[in-house]
Amino acid sequence: MSAPTLTDLAGWLEAIQDIGLPVGPGESAMTDAERIDQITVIEQLKNALAGAQGRLGHAYEESQRVAQRAAGRPATRIGEGIAQSVALARRVSPGVATTFLGLNRILATEMPHTARALGEGRLAEYSATLLARETACLDVGHRATIDEKIAGSDLVDRLSRNQLVAETRRLAARLDAAGVAQRQALAAKDRRVTLRPAPDTMTYLTALVPVAQGVAMYAALSKEADRAKQDPDDPRGRGQVMADTLAELVTGRRAEAPPSVDLRLVMTDRALLAGDDEPALLPGYGIVPAEWARDLVKRALGRASVWITRLYTAPSSRQLMAADSRRRKAPKGLAAFIGDRDQLCRTPWCGAPVRHIDHVQPHRDTGRTAADDLQGLCEACNYAKEALGWSSRPRPGPWHSTEITTPTGHVYVSWAPPLPGAPERIADPGGVSDPGDEVT
């Protein structure tokens, strides 16, 4: 049987769109037993497709590395742009694509049984990722042993994910106790704090710390919660006390006090002064209700001074056109302007924080630094732009948009996100929002 063509795959995609839909008049309904059977086969198909996609990704990576070496790229730059190309094709972030490529590189070179189980649909992609992750500290020989014992046997068909991890760790500890201990000792290097948006103007502040520190921190917060609960006048629950205590210890201010850092809240004058319900934008979080934004400003007015930055937008598109700061000492104005306009990395589907203010067209080619030729990118996407075969250019129009061309000739378009007050937009047929198409 020959490998399916791109046309075949497109036909499959169209065919499966009718699965599970209500049947028409005169058609017999599927029984519940048949539904369960199809759910089972579709799950296996999803796993097998993940395996096929992984093999394609690995082959693309190898081909691109060969091409980059043949073009004389420095050894330190071999591999640049590969994850970004795959990320655009999969409509995911470069970080997700990097993990995807790394997994399938390991499966292709070191874990053939796991690769086969995934390709046959017997193992989920995430389970394969767990097997690769839990054997990362082992040498190739020990990893191959675990690969054979678990993925090469019926264990892979009957173990849950938690059991799969536990069995892998058990085997790893028996095969290389010193390597496992070394991995645990080095894990502290990965400690970090991250912030993710949560519903209703809340956020998840997460700290990855060594277990002794984490237990001690939680115990200290618990102790403060126990103390507060003895106060009959304190209406807060245990979790609220712990969260407030953490905020006070980190910021040095009471939890209900307005923040002392510049949050760069972006909202229209109508929402700020006239009670309009147009949502505001809080860079680093996203859209917030107008009432919440007005309340934040009202509380901040109680401080000694409040800085207001005026933002000017184009009447037709509401794109950010200029900014004027009232501060005595201006911040890095243009960089802050681009950050306010772009909010997150401009590469489609990336979504990482802006780390670099990038020239859309290389400065060496244009000699100019202006808002219409600048964009906010994360570090990885900025470096990818300089890889072999990549190019980008601004697109004309009232909305700030750029066109990205990858080494395979695929073209992707990036638009600056809408600011408060922007007209509603519809999506183009390709699934990428085109700000030029407005709903009337």
Q: What is the residue whose two structure tokens read 């000699």?
A: 367
pLDDT in tens, the chain (440 residues): 778 899 989 998 988 988 888 877 777 788 899 999 999 999 999 999 999 999 999 999 999 999 999 999 999 999 999 999 999 999 999 999 999 999 999 999 999 999 999 999 999 999 999 999 999 888 999 999 999 999 999 989 989 999 999 999 999 989 988 877 777 777 788 899 988 888 887 889 999 998 889 999 999 999 988 888 888 888 888 899 999 999 888 877 776 665 554 566 777 777 777 778 888 877 767 778 888 878 877 776 655 445 555 555 555 555 565 554 443 332 467 788 888 888 889 999 998 888 888 888 887 777 777 777 889 999 999 989 888 899 999 887 767 889 999 999 999 999 888 777 666 554 443 334 443 433 32
* CA separation for the pair 265, 308 (Å, rounded): 9
Rg (CA), the chain: 27
What Cα–Cα distance (Å) separates residue 249 from each residue in 22, 237, 306, 331, 332? 56, 18, 24, 28, 30
Residue for token digits 């095969």?
Answer: 175
Pairwise CA distance, residues 410 & 91, whole Å? 13
Sign of CA pseudo-dihedral 108, 109, 111, 112: positive
Would you tell me how many other CB atoms lie within 10 Å of the CB of residue 178? 8
SS3 429: coil
pLDDT value for 21: 84
Virtual torsion, Cα 244, 249, 253, 257, nearest 10 deg = -20
C-alpha to C-alpha distances, 15 to 45, 51, 75, 213, 217, nearest whole angstrom: 14, 21, 45, 53, 54
State residue 198's pLDDT score: 85
Residue 47: closest CA among 102, 119, 130: 119
Give the whole-angstrom CA distance, residue 413 versus residue 405.
9
Residue 391: beta bridge partners?
405
Q: According to the model, what pLDDT value does residue 33 have?
A: 93
Q: Is residue 317 within 8 Å of residue 396, measured between CB atoms?
A: no
Angle subtended at Cα 386 by Cα 382 and Cα 390, rounded to the nearest 5 degrees: 105
Is the Cα dihedral 191, 194, 198, 204 positive or negative?
Answer: positive
For residue 433, give the H/E element and its range.
Answer: strand 433-438
**Helices 112-119 and 94-109 meet at what angle, rounded to 10?**
110
- Beta strands 411-415 and 374-377 are unpaired
